[in-house]
Amino acid sequence: MALTHEQMTFPADRRLRLWIRPSALVVLAAVAMAPIVAAWVQYAIAGLPSVSGPRDPASAEGPHGFPLWLRSAHYLNLLLMVFMIRSGLSILMDHPRLYWNVHCTPGSEWLRVTPVLVPTDRVWTAKDDARYISPWLALPGGRHTVGIARHWHFLVALLWVANGLVFVTLLWATGQWRRIVPHSWQIVPEAWAVLVHYATFHMPPEPDGFYQYNSLQHLAYFAVVFILPPLSILTGLAMSPAVDSRFRWYARIFGGRQAARSIHFLLLLAYLGFIAVHVLMVVVTGLARNMDHIVMGTDETGIPGLILGGIGIGVIILACVAAHWVSWRRPRALQYAARRLVEGLMRVGLDPMAPRARYSREEISPHFWPNGKLPTSEEWLRLADDGFRDYRLQVHGLVQHPVELSMDEIRALGKQEQITMHHCIQGWSGIAQWGGLPLARLVELVRPAPEAKFVVFHSFGEGLYGGEYYDCHSMTNVLHPQSLLAYERNGAPLERLYGAPLRLRVENQLGYKMVKWIKSVEFVAGVEQVGKGHGGKNEDDEYYDLIANI
């Protein structure tokens, strides 16, 4: 029985469990503790190092203070980061495991946010593995909300990058960069001396932040503006099927797609760590004065900065409530906003790149996460029991030469083999060898009419919420040399679980576009007439993107 959205989104089992591999925990703890231990050792042996005291504000190098553009960008950044972090958590929960290897073999993860150990005595799909997260923590939260979460993540990412570019440009244009970009290596020992103070619970002499930062603060701000965000963007892109299938070297810079995903998550921890310490320091080094600096742009200790700052935080909370409402009540509008902006960019930037990455036999994944529901229809079961002898692939629609092809006829049309990496929207990946008919051959055979713009692949299987699984691909993507109707996996006939008798490979797209258990292929002018009209079963029911390059 198909479950309702309500039952899927708010399952009975909502346990939240975090597990970290002990060795990973040791490494993380060592990295976090090493400087603190070193600081204590130095303090015990040599006492507190000296920190050059606050200089006379007037003599501190300029520029001083915080102009309006800087205060606005700082505030906007906070708002956008809240959205990025909350939507990122929803995305993580759709495959709540992090790995350093590309295969995602269950049990090889270094971190999991699920109490479930993958059962080995029955089929356990990636969809089964997705977890619930509270909407109080994540945007939108619930379970199986990766489609909506991604819309927030990418739409906001565009604004976040734009805000960051404006910020950095103005830093340069106004000389404000000198406050956070180190200009001498001398800053490193000075920052260390400040750290020894904090780590041993001493306050170093604080310069007034309006005029100057202490050296550790200077370095921390530099890192959070110039190091972490570029790394987040670059590791984010390394998860893109379009980028990975075009430039194999790119994800390797980070140690592969899953290592990039793990680093993307570690960067989240770095932001959270920064925010925690930053807020703590704002509070302990003079809350009213600091708030006045960053809210009002003056060097006073009055309450307007506190009040206006509090209102600003209230506005962020209201924005979260509004985003929650949009996610649950107007998801289609959000999907269409993303379609215009994010997909618009993909259409020109990523989608036209023809995939060409290939892997070696040794790189084939030992475990390949299955996804989707095996068809249960009489028709498919009968065909499968008989080795698909009576199967006929129906190719129809806007074509000059509609055909019905048996498996033997399909095999006779020409076979291509490729070893490629699969990218699931949920976050996992896997490498497999696929053998099948290049879709370009099929197109050549049926001769689409000029008005045919999309190709619909209909499945024998059902979607998560029942109803036929299908998906639409643009003609360009169908014609890429690596686009296949696969009937073999790892050199053997395609197993039932993996899509027998035929499944798609369109390597520059995410996994959900690769329909399994294909029943028929239809050429259409637009996606509006098919299903609910949004381009596929997941596009209809889960608000996924029509173009899935990231």
Ligand X SMILES: Nc1nc2c(c(=O)[nH]1)N[C@H]1C(S)=C(S)[C@@H](COP(=O)(O)O)O[C@H]1N2
State which amino acid sits at residue 469: Y
Task: Give the per-residue SS3 of 422-467.
Answer: EECCCCCEEEEEEEEEEHHHHHHHHCECCCCCEEEEEEEEECCCCC
498 binds ligand X (CB under 6 A): yes
Q: Which helix (H) or strand (E) holds 454?
A: strand 454-462
Nearer Cβ to ligand X (292/507): 507
Residue 399 interacts, among ligand X, Mo ion, none and using kind-specific CB cut-offs from 5 to 8 Å, with: none
Nearer Cβ to ligand X (49/467): 467
- Of the candidates 393, 408, 517, the one whose C-alpha atom is nearest the C-alpha of residue 462 is 517
Nearer Cβ to Mo ion (217/371): 371
Q: Which helix (H) or strand (E) holds 120?
A: none
368 binds ligand X (CB under 6 A): yes
Tokens found for residue 90: 């929803």
Determine which residue in the list 514, 546, 548, 550 makes contact with ligand X, applying CB under 6 A: 514
The number of residues that bind ligand X (CB under 6 A) is: 17
End-to-end CA separation in angstroms for the chain:
32
- Report yes or no: 112 and 123 within 8 Å, Cβ to Cβ: no
Instruction: Report the site for ligand X in 402-441 (rule: CB under 6 A).
Output: 424
Draw the binding track, 436-465, toward ligand X (x: CB under 6 A; -: no contact): -----------------------x-x----
- Report yes or no: 90 and 141 within 8 Å, Cβ to Cβ: yes
Taking CB under 6 A as the binding criterion, the range among 59-67, 184-192, 203-211, 515-523 that sits at the site for ligand X is: 515-523
516 binds ligand X (CB under 6 A): yes
Instruction: Report the site for ligand X in 265-294 (rule: CB under 6 A).
Output: none
- Report yes or no: 139 and 87 within 8 Å, Cβ to Cβ: yes
Between the alpha carbon of residue 461 and those of residues 143, 220, 390, 492, 496, the distances in Å are 22, 52, 18, 22, 11
Nearer Cβ to Mo ion (218/422): 422
CA–CA separation, 504 vs 511, rounded Å?
A: 9
Would you call 429 helix, strand, or coil by DSSP? Answer: strand
Q: Least distance to ligand X from the beta carbon of 375, Å?
A: 7
State which amino acid sits at residue 450: P
511 binds Mo ion (CB under 5 A): yes
Determine which residue in the list 424, 431, 478, 502 makes contact with Mo ion, applying CB under 5 A: 424
What are the φ and ψ backbone dihedral angles of 519, each rounded to 5 degrees? -100, -45
487 binds ligand X (CB under 6 A): no
Taking CB under 6 A as the binding criterion, the range among 134-142, 250-258, 366-374, 383-391 that sits at the site for ligand X is: 366-374
Instruction: Report the site for ligand X in 172-201 (rule: CB under 6 A).
Output: none
Nearer Cβ to Mo ion (179/473): 473
State which amino acid sits at residue 224: V
Residue 88 interacts, among ligand X, Mo ion, none and using kind-specific CB cut-offs from 5 to 8 Å, with: none
- Report yes or no: 164 and 229 within 8 Å, Cβ to Cβ: yes
Determine which residue in the list 512, 523, 543, 544 makes contact with Mo ion, applying CB under 5 A: 512
Nearer Cβ to ligand X (86/489): 489
Determine which residue in the list 192, 517, 523, 543 makes contact with ligand X, applying CB under 6 A: 517
CA–CA separation, 169 vs 159, rounded Å?
A: 15
CA–CA separation, 322 vs 458, rounded Å?
A: 37
Residues within the interface to Mo ion (CB under 5 A): 371, 424-425, 511-512
Residues within the interface to ligand X (CB under 6 A): 368-373, 424, 459, 461, 469, 498, 511-512, 514-517
